[in-house]
Chain A
Amino acid sequence: MARLNINGTVRDVQIEDDTPLLWALREQVGLTGTKYGCGIAQCGACTVHIDGEAVRACSITVGSIKPEQKIVTIEGLSPDGSHPVQKAWVANDVPQCGYCQPGMIMAAAALLKQKPKPTDADIDANITNICRCGTFQQVREAIHAAANA
Chain B
Amino acid sequence: MPGPKPNKLHDELDALLDGRPVELTDELAPLAEVADALRAELAAYQLDPGVADRHLERVLHGSATVVPLRARAHPNGWDLRRRVAAVVLAAALVLAPATMASAAALPGQPMYPFKRAIEELRIASVQWSPSREAVERTRVADARLDELTQLVNLRIFTQVPTAITALSKAVQEAEAAVDDATREGEPVARAASKLSAVKVAGGQVVAVVATTVANPSSLPRGTREAITAAVEQSQGVLPVPNRDTGSGAPSGSTPTPPPASPTSSPPSQPPPNSTPQTTTTEPPVTSTTLPPTTTTAPEPTSTEPTVTTGGAAGGGDGTGGDQQTTEGAAPAEPAP
The answer to whether A binds B is no
State the A residues within 8 Å of B (CB): none
